Structure 1
């Protein structure tokens, strides 16, 4: 199989270099996954714009991290499990909560409905069960929230697929493995 290397700033287009510079200024680094996506300046620019737009949607940062943890577990993406475990902790989750969210569980009814539906959407390629959808709506969510959730699943699935195919180095602390595979 082909070996993929994380590109350096000098190995990407001038458009991607500008994005790398902006990322470094904002977060202090260019995560390896973003650098890899940056092999296409168009893809990286679009991806970051999509993520930025989703931050204005229904879900707050903590809820988005919960979705990202759940989806990354179903998609088997070690990179995103690591990144979102770290980011989840920065947003107030404990280590134990990040593991539970990866399993599709939360003691918080709102988060539980969100992660269960995110996993069901991911696992069943958009064909979530009526029961899981109705449990989501029972938490007070509306159709706009449903579309926002689907967008978050799509966002994270793209990142998961990039890492799953390239297997580039993980530049976050590795997430603790969970013993049971996540099931919806």
Structure 2
């Protein structure tokens, strides 16, 4: 099987190099996953534009990180769990909150509504239980917010799948394993 390597700046085309330069300036580095997406300048540019646009929508930074965490947990993406845990803590979530969110719950009711719906969308390939949709709207969210939530789930699925296909090295501190007490227990 072919091993996918993280490309250097010199190994990608000029368009991707310009995006790498922007990332370097903004983040202080080009994360391995972004660099790997950079094999296709079109894919990297589309991903960055999609994510940037969604960051200006209905959800706060903490809520966006919560969506990223729960979707990455559903998809078992160690890269995104590491990166998004670090980002979530920088946005003010505690390590304990990140673990609870990864389990599909949040202590804040409004955040819990978002997390449960995002988890359901990811697990059910875009479908969700009607009660979770009803709770989302009852919490005060609009149809526009539902579409943006779908976008947030989708953008994270993209990065989760890129990692699943490439298994590139994780260049962030590993996320803590989900404690057994927070893992879903089979119904008896």
Band of TM-score, shorter chain: over 0.9
Alignment of 1:25-104 (within 5 A): 25-104=25-104
Could you tell me how far 1:2 is from its partner in structure 2?
2.1
Alignment of 1:1-184 (within 5 A): 1-178=1-178, 179=180, 181=183
Could you tell me how far 1:137 is from its partner in structure 2?
1.2
What is the distance in 1 between the residues matched to 2:108 and 2:21?
Answer: 39
Could you tell me how far 1:118 is from its partner in structure 2?
0.2
What is the distance in 2 between the residues matched to 1:124 and 1:155?
Answer: 16
What is the distance in 1 between the residues matched to 2:62 and 2:106?
Answer: 13
What is the distance in 1 between the residues matched to 2:146 and 2:113?
Answer: 11
Deviations 1:6-30 (A, max 9, x none): 0000000011001101110111000
SS at match of 1:105: coil
Task: Give me the CA root mean square deviation.
Answer: 1.1
What is the distance in 2 between the residues matched to 1:2 and 1:176?
Answer: 30
What is the distance in 1 between the residues matched to 2:50 and 2:151?
Answer: 9
Deviations 1:90-111 (A, max 9, x none): 0001100000010111110010
What is the distance in 2 between the residues matched to 1:70 and 1:137?
Answer: 20
Unpaired runs of at least 5, structure 2:
none
Could you tell me how far 1:182 is from its partner in structure 2?
5.3
Instruction: Answer whether contact 1:102 1:182 (CA < 8 A) is retained.
Output: no
Could you tell me how far 1:181 is from its partner in structure 2?
4.5
Cα separation, partners in 2 of 1:182 and 1:172, compared to 1, 3 Å: farther
SS at match of 1:36: helix
What is the distance in 2 between the residues matched to 1:102 and 1:2?
Answer: 31
Cα separation, partners in 2 of 1:131 and 1:114, compared to 1, 3 Å: same
Deviations 1:99-145 (A, max 9, x none): 00101111100100000000000000011000111111111111111
Relative to the length of structure 1, the TM-score reads 0.97
What is the distance in 2 between the residues matched to 1:181 and 1:54?
Answer: 29
